[in-house]
Every structure is written in C-alpha cells, then in structure tokens.
Amino acid sequence: MTDFTGLELAQPILRAITDEGYTTPTPIQLKSIPALLEGRDLLGVAQTGTGKTAAFTLPLLHRLAQNGEKLKSRQPRALIIAPTRELAAQINDSVRCYGQHMHLRSTVVFGGASIRPQIQALNRGVHILVATPGRLLDLMNQRHLQLGSVETFILDEADRMLDMGFIPDVKKITAALPNKRQTLLFSATMPKSIEGLAASLLNDPVRVEVAPAATTVEKVEQHVLFVAKDKKRSLLGELLKNKDIARVLVFTRTKHGADRVVRHLQQCGVKSDAIHGNKAQNARQRALKSFRNGRIRALVATDIAARGIDVDGVTHVINFDLPNEPESYVHRIGRTARAGAGGIALSFCDHEERAYLRNIEKVIRQSVPVLEDQPFHAAEIANAPAPGKRSQQRKRNPNQRRRNPGRTKRAPKAA
C-alpha cells in the first residue's frame, strides 16, 4: 500500500487529503489507520513530525462520517486532549482541514482565552472537542459539558502531560467518560508512569512505535558551539547574518531569556517574536502564524510553549540554552526534520552547560561535532575536563601514602 486510496477512507476525506497535496501515508499512518478503522484501542510511541495527528484524525473523521448522528448540545462524540494551547489549536485546525468536505462541527477550548465563546460553541453542539485539561475541567465543573456521549477519546503527548503536572486532571476527565469507547494514547517517550496510565485506559491495544529518538537525530546535522554565556546573543546575531538560515526556531530556557533574545535580534534587523507562557494566547497565535507564513524569520520559544509548534520549512534549530533534560534536546532538533526531511541544529554551550551536553550525547549515543569556525569560540570551555570527572592531576591513588606521613596532627583549639 503506497497511497491513501488503499486505506479505504471515506471519499470526502480522500478529497481533502488530495486538496492538501498529500499522496503517500507516513509509517505511523500506515500502521495506525487500519487498526483504528477496525475500532481497536491504540498505544502510539511517536514524536511530532511523524504524521501522528493525521494518523488519529483521519480514522476519527471516517468513523463519524459512517455514523452521522444528530448533534447534541454540550455532548461531543469525540474528545481529544492536548497539553498546550498551541497543540490543541493545531489539532483542531487539522480536524477542520481534513473534514472540510464533511458536515461535521469541531471546536477547541483552552485557558488564556475567553470562556464565553467556548460555552456558546458547546451549547450549539460539536462532534469533536479538542481541549487542554484545565479548561476542560472548568467547563465540566460549571456543567457546560458532559462526556457521557464520547465514543472516541484521544490523549496526545502524554509524556508532556506528565511533565506539566496534568496527569491528575486527566484521570478526573477519564473517570467521566463512558466505559464503552475507543481510546488512543500517544507519547514520544514511555516512562513507567505513562505505561501505567496506558494500562488503565486502553483495552487490548495495538502498539505502534515509529521514529525512535536515534532515527530522528540521525536526520539532523548537529553542531555544538562553545561560547561564553555573555557572548551568546552576539554569536546569535552573527550567525543570522547568514541568509541560509532562512526560518529558525531558537530555544531558550526561560521566558525572560526569550524576550531578551528577541530584543537583541530586532536590534540586529532580524524579524522575530517570542512564544512562551507569559504571552497572551492571541499574541502567541499571532507569533506562530507570522512564523508559519514567513513574516518573521526567527521564533524564540521555551520548551513547553514550543511543544505544539508544527511548521514546515524550518531550516535551523538553535539551542541558545541547552536543555537540562536530554530528551528535550531530541524534541527540539526534530522541529527541523519534519516528515522525513533533514535540517541543521546548532547548540550554544557555555561552561555551566557542559554537563547537559554530556548527558545529551549519552542519550543520542553519539558525540556532537564542535564548530570552531565561529567568532566567539571559547577554547577554554571546549578543552575543560569533562564534567563529573576529576582531573588527572587531582586524582590520588588511595593506596598512595600522604606526603610527610610523620607529621603530627595539630591539637584541636580550645573551646
């Protein structure tokens, strides 16, 4: 099977796929869609950029097309939960895109936006509801939403839900769902806590695993640039004089750091904007839209805010700050290796971040090549002893006798 027609999806869905210019399913779509059309539960281990949104959206739309019941006020038939506002909005955009030739209604609800239009949409009735956990619980507690009619439940990026502390909320939500339903859980990583959650939610699931971390990493050309902390912004400005860095995603560790980077880039004449938790939702959406359509060249983001960014054509990812979790490094650089494409990732590393680099290299099972041909190369950082190891000069054989072994200890000072 090499094209979508072999998946036996409803004609309106195939028409929408053709309109978008897609012809060949990705591996996760080929593995997931047939099982989901049979009504099976599914556990998907996949990162963003693998085509997983379409992998669960297309069979969901097909199922609703085959069983066109009347809309019920406040009672959606499908529920999709995502950890961030950006990802939730993006999933809803995909639902509307693939369902553009169908008479189906969807909406998205999340915090940071007015709740009144969300309540009005639910009152009119929707087939598919996409939500973040906090706002969903608010609507349930205010009795604007009932989950008793949900036939399909999809939990996306469960590991990020865990990182953000949403798992207790997820458990409250799932307790309100009917026992008879189809359930899908997707996660980029599978720690024991997520395995336990999957076991409690899924019934005899099909397990689909694609694009493990190493595979994604291998598609990206990686370099580390050793630089003093106070020279990072200057280095970034110099790098962006290169017009080959056409669309770049820059990662910082903090929200304030992201804003400082944007101010510096704007002073350098680089059109840029930031996306992080302190930004109002409409400002975040404007920044993402401007980045997607090319009005800005650089988007500066923190890890959590960037989780839902799925933009084609990102030529470079720059880690202005190295992440303290090595798995985050894999997620970050994968933003420039979408759907099988390659990309370039540049990581700034100051003296304090050497330990982070060492942990990253352990996870990706390879050394990141050093790029010395840059104006702020810090040889003293590059040549410093590996973190976590004492230098050879300071090591002492435990069997070696101390110098002046006959020297007597000083008497303790009087109290």
pLDDT of 134: 95
DSSP, res 338: G
pLDDT of 271: 97
Within 10 angstroms of residue 392's Cβ, the number of other Cβ atoms is: 7
Q: Is residue 233 scored above 80 in pLDDT?
A: yes
Strand order in the sheet with 182-187: 106-109, 128-131, 78-81, 152-155, 182-187, 42-45, 206-209
User: Which pLDDT tens digit goes with each residue over 292-314?
Assistant: 899 999 999 988 766 667 788 89
Write down the mean pLDDT value for the chain: 87
Would you say the pTM of this structure is higher than 0.85?
no
pLDDT of 150: 97
pLDDT of 365: 85
- Average the pLDDT over each of 232-246, 288-302, 346-360, 388-402 and give the range with the smallest value: 388-402
Domains and CATH numbers, the chain: 4-211 (3.40.50.300), 214-383 (3.40.50.300)
Q: Is residue 383 scored above 50 in pLDDT?
A: yes
pLDDT of 115: 96
- Mean pLDDT, to the nearest integer, of 233-254? 95
User: Which pLDDT tens digit goes with each residue over 158-178?
Assistant: 988 988 889 999 999 999 999
pLDDT of 272: 97
Q: Which residue has the higher pLDDT, 48 or 301?
A: 301
pLDDT of 34: 95
* 242: CB partners within 8 A, 6+ apart: none
- Mean pLDDT, to the nearest integer, of 178-193? 92
CB 95 within 8 A of CB 56: no
pLDDT of 176: 97
**Which of 150, 164, 154, 185 is CA-nearest to residue 75?**
150
Q: Which residue has the higher pLDDT, 263 or 26?
A: 263
Q: Which residue has the higher pLDDT, 114 or 339?
A: 114
293 SS3 class: coil
pLDDT of 76: 97
pLDDT of 386: 64
Q: What are the tokens at 384? A: 């410093």
Helices (H) and strands (E) in the chain, counts: 17, 13
- Output phi, psi for 139, to 5 deg: -65, -35
**Distance from the first to the final alpha carbon of the chain:** 86
| Per-residue pLDDT band at 62 (split at 50, 70, 90) | very high
219 SS3 class: coil
Q: Is residue 409 scored above 60 in pLDDT?
A: no
Residue 125 gets the label, from left (phi > 0), alpha (psi -120 to 50) or beta, of left
pLDDT of 198: 95
